[in-house]
A and B are shown apart, each in its own frame.
Chain A
Amino acid sequence: MKTEVEQKQKRMQIVVVGCGRLGSALAYRLFRAGHLVAVIDSSPTSFNNLPPDFTGRIHEGDALSQDVLVRAGIEQADALAAVTSSDAINAVVARVAREVYHVPNVVARNYDPRCRVLFEELDLQVISSTSWGAQRIEEMLYDSGIHTVFSAGNGEVEVYEFVIPERWEGKTLEELLPDEECLPISVTRAGRAMLPQSGLTIKGGDIIHVSATFNGSNCLRQKLLEQKE
């Protein structure tokens, strides 16, 4: 089914700047999905990160150079990803792609979480892979039965899923959920989902989806743990 979706999707021309671990993995995924991919990196050995069956275009050069960007097809590109391990390069290239070449879809990678502000200031779509990964791992370490099913933005708001323990049977969602930074989305009972009406009594085994901030999810986690004691 996934391939069907991919086949229906328009064949995109995509520039990937940076061919490290993230860049090469991204370029290869896009290539396998049938898109026209051009990869830029200043280090010739970086292209060794690409699997041997990758036949997209590779351009060795400085991504700040106009020639290199034009040769990689930035003028016709539908999308550009700036994913080097330098926040400054990612920010500059992403902004140039959007402001000078009007690339419709531009995403930048934030490498050092301390530089996150730079991307916000430049008004760029940004993925903070490092802090996002750290947050995921932190949640998994707590292992409290709440897990993330969807991350919005860079994980500022996430959709969490958890199962109602037997001891919460007969209570209402309002009693269980923290007052702030946590909103109910759906209640799934016996495989059938419904919108959470106020005052709905929950049953053990109900699957609840909530959208919450990191703080909201921590409060919820604590409430679930308190009940155990």
Chain B
Amino acid sequence: MYVIIAGGGRTGAQLARILVAQNHFVQLIDSRPEVLARLHKELPTEAIFEGRPIDPLVLEKAGAEKADVLAACTTEDEVNLAICFMARSRYKVPRTIARINNPRNAWLFDHKFHVDVAVNQAEIMASIIEEEMSLGDMMTLIKLRRGNYSLVEEKVPADAPALGIAIKDLNLPEHCVIAAIIRHGEVIVPRGITTFEPGDEVLAVADPEGARQLAKMLSPNKVGNGRTGNGV
């Protein structure tokens, strides 16, 4: 792929490193001398393009017309929006991705400025932390790209309400599907008649409400939610 990355800060530089390692053609655009000095130590010279990302001529010279993807990763939201808009309307870049710095600006990152995918770092971090707080042992492994679903993991304690009941009889919430169970290091594909055992690691695809209800079924009996301590 031909990838243009605007902004050589931590996010942009890390992304460039990953993509270069995968043999993609990368043009990382930045104009700040101190940033360029650092980039030249981390990346091959041909992956670095010197110029102000907001300058349309710079985008053009970096090959915007040939690019498959543009990732706007600068620390200024308005610049990321302007770059995505230019990339699509002027250079017909098929896919645009923008970083949201200030979550309060998130409302702007959509078709209004031709942003295909918006990555809201602060919100992702905050919601992971929030889930960690409210779900005890439940861990969010990945957030699925579309919609509100995540792949979550929870370890079944010895006194969970769900123990000994077949999955089909558990009354699982609508937006929650058990994807796999890891038992004694082996993966078990769950069926309707499968029952949970203590120590099972349960992997489920769920939305936030589904995850909350699943966490309740798999948490120690004495407390419903928000468990603390090592509840054995």
Report A's interface with B, CB cutoff 8 A.
Answer: 62, 64-67, 86-89, 91-93, 95-96, 99-100, 112, 114-115, 117-118, 121-122
The 10 closest A-B pairs by CB, nearest first: A88-B78, A117-B56, A88-B82, A88-B79, A92-B78, A89-B78, A64-B105, A65-B104, A92-B81, A114-B55
Asked if A117 and B104 sit within 8 Å, CB to CB, the answer is no
9 additional A-B pairs beyond A64-B102, A121-B90, A122-B85, beta carbons within 8 Å, are A62-B105, A64-B77, A64-B105, A88-B79, A92-B78, A92-B81, A92-B108, A92-B113, A118-B85
Which secondary structure characterizes the binding site on chain B?
A: helix
Nearest A residue (CB) for B111: A99
Interchain nearest-CB distance for B218 vs A (Å): 39
Q: List the B residue with the shortest CB-CB distance to A88.
A: B78
Cβ-defined contact, B112 with A115, below 8 A: no
* Cα distance, A121 to B81, chains bound together (Å): 13
Task: Quote the shortest CB–CB distance from B178 to chain A (angstroms).
Answer: 40
| CB <8 Å contact, B56 and A115 | yes
**How distant is A39 from chain B, measured CB to nearest CB, in Å?**
18
- Does B206 interact with chain A (Cβ within 8 Å)? no
In the complex, A86 Cα to B74 Cα: how many Å? 15
B86: interface (CB < 8 Å): yes
Contacting residues, chain B, for A115 (C-beta < 8 A): 54-56
- Asked if A62 contacts B112 (CB within 8 A), the reply is no
Q: Is the CB of A96 within 8 A of B108?
A: yes
A86 in contact with B55 given A62-B104, A65-B105, A118-B86 (CB within 8 Å): no
Contact A88 B90 (CB under 8 A): no
Dominant SS among interface residues on chain A: helix
Q: In residues 86-108 of chain B, which contact A (Cβ within 8 Å)? A: 86, 89-90, 102, 104-105, 107-108
A117's nearest neighbour on chain B, judged by CB, is B56
B78 touches A118 (CB 8 A): no
Give chain B's interface residues, CB within 8 Å of chain A.
Answer: 54-57, 76-79, 81-82, 85-86, 89-90, 102, 104-105, 107-108, 112-113
Task: Name which of B54, B77, B102 has the most chain A CB atoms within 10 A of its CB.
Answer: B54
- A64-B107 Cα distance, complex, nearest whole Å: 9
Output the nearest chain A residue to B89 by Cβ-Cβ distance: A121
The docked-state distance in angstroms from the alpha carbon of A66 to that of B54 is 23
Chain B residues, CB < 8 A from A114: 55-57
Residues of A within 8 A of B104 (CB): 62, 64-67
| Interface pairs (28), CB distance under 8 Å | A62-B105, A64-B77, A64-B102, A64-B104, A65-B105, A66-B107, A87-B54, A87-B82, A88-B78, A88-B79, A88-B82, A89-B78, A91-B82, A92-B78, A92-B82, A92-B113, A93-B78, A95-B85, A95-B112, A96-B108, A114-B55, A115-B55, A115-B56, A118-B54, A118-B85, A121-B85, A121-B89, A122-B89
- The listed residue (B79, B86, B102, B107) touching A121 by CB distance below 8 A is B86
Query: What's the minimum C-beta distance from A123 to chain B, rounded to whole angstroms?
Result: 9
Q: Who on chain A is nearest to B107 by CB?
A: A66
* B54, B78, B89 pick with most chain A CB within 10 angstroms: B78
Q: Does B102 contact A96, Cβ atoms closer than 8 Å? A: no
A204 to B81, CA, bound (A): 57
Alpha-carbon gap, A62 to B81, bound state (A): 15
B96 to chain A, nearest CB (A): 14
* Inter-chain contacts of B102 with A (CB < 8 A): 62, 64
Measured CB to CB, the closest approach of chain B to A108, in angstroms, equals 12
Q: Which of B57, B76, B107 contacts A88 (CB 8 A)?
A: B76
B105: chain A residues within 8 A (beta carbon): 62, 64-65
Query: Closest residue of chain A to B80, judged by CB?
Result: A88
Bound CA span A55–B104, Å: 29
Task: Give the distance in Å from the alpha carbon of A100 to the alpha carbon of B113 in the complex.
Answer: 12
CB < 8 Å neighbour of A86 from B57, B78, B90: B78
Write out the residue numbers on chain A whose beta carbons fall within 8 Å of the beta carbon of B56.
114-115, 117-118, 121
